[in-house]
Structure 1
Amino acid sequence: MVIRFLLDTNIISEPVRLQANPGVIQKLKEHELEIAMASVTWHELLFGCYRLPASKKRNKIEKYLKDTIQPKIPILYYDDLAAEWFAQERARLVGLGKTPAYPDGQIAAISKVNNLILVTNNISDFIDFQEIQVENWFV
């Protein structure tokens, strides 16, 4: 299958939540061969895990990331094309008086240059970026 969706951090982390959203879980299963994540997202997931104190919870999350996520979900990198798109988009937004969060801009850029639908629960973080498609699997 062809990759169609770029998953944001809150989508990938949903399955390890105590009360995971069943709609998100269903979509992950339905599209399991069509998903990827940004290298920025991988960093956010690992950073969130490593910030936790040593515990069963941290061990569970680390195992999920290393044994389930890393081998199954391709990681797309912030490359020269993504950097160019984000530089132009960031300049446009700053000209409008808006300052996009840098990691969100990188994720949006990876989504745009790979022609993928960005899946997130944080639609508002990406609303100002032009020419990207965004979906919320929580609704």
Structure 2
Amino acid sequence: MARRRSGGTPGRRDRDPRPRTWPRTGGIRVILVDTNVWSETTKRSPDPAVLAWLVAHRDQLALCSITVGELLNGVELMTAGRRRDELTASVERLISNGRGRTYPYDEPAARAYAGIVTRRRSAGRPFAKPEDAMIAAIAIANECSVATRNVGDFAEMGVELINPWETAQP
């Protein structure tokens, strides 16, 4: 699996240092899936490698509230019609299936976000999309990895990254 660490940001100091796991994962780390990975599944011709990766890791995958918002916003911005209706139904199914496996943007995530923003600005590397920092902060607060195509957007935020488009095998 193509994984990389995006910097040296530790998680919350008062938390158990072991990675967060779901009971069904057999001790394998939970993976927060970024919006671009879920969006790939809605394309007319999705990348087969990404679909295979999602299936192979289905018991590890989780949503976060930021991704839910981005997905809902994406369909709401579409012109009314059949494609929008199809995508709305698809997003609603994903949200429904993710109930109980959706991480919120809560106080621990907000604290992690503040640290990410401060470090990036101090280093002269602010970012254009705060949602990515919020997703990374949720992952840090809950000791999760992040699956995304846009690994550069998450660089140096202190979260383990997985690019499903670059994985040699699921």
RMSD of aligned residue pairs (Cα, Å): 1.2
| Distance across 1 between alignment mates of 2:42 and 2:119 | 37
Q: What do the CA deviations read for 1:60-109 (whole angstroms, capped 9, x no partner)?
A: 10111112x01212211111111111111211111111112311110000
| Distance across 2 between alignment mates of 1:10 and 1:88 | 24
Q: 5+ residue gaps in structure 2?
A: 1-23
Is 1:125 aligned to 2:150, yes or no?
Answer: no
Q: TM-score, normalized by length of structure 1? A: 0.93
Counterpart for residue 165 of structure 2 = 138
Q: SS of 1:16's equivalent? A: coil
Corresponding letter in the other structure for 1:22: P
Q: What do the CA deviations read for 1:4-57 (whole angstroms, capped 9, x no partner)?
A: 110000111111101101111011111112111110110000000011011111
Counterpart for residue 4 of structure 1 = 30
Matches within 5 A, 1:106-121: 106-121=134-149
Structure with the bigger RCO (C-alpha within 8 Å, sep 6+) is 2
Counterpart for residue 5 of structure 2 = none
Give the alignment partner of residue 57 of structure 1, picking from 76, 79, 83.
Answer: 83
Shift of residue 59, structure 1, vs aligned partner: 0.8
Matches within 5 A, 1:60-75: 60-67=86-93, 69-73=94-98, 74-75=101-102
| Distance across 2 between alignment mates of 1:70 and 1:41 | 10
Q: 5+ residue gaps in structure 1?
A: none
Q: Which structure is higher in helix share?
A: 1
Aligned residues: 137
Q: SS of 1:13's equivalent? A: helix
Q: SS of 1:118's equivalent? A: strand
Q: TM-score, normalized by length of structure 2? A: 0.77
Percent identity between the two aligned chains: 27
Q: SS of 2:41's equivalent? A: helix
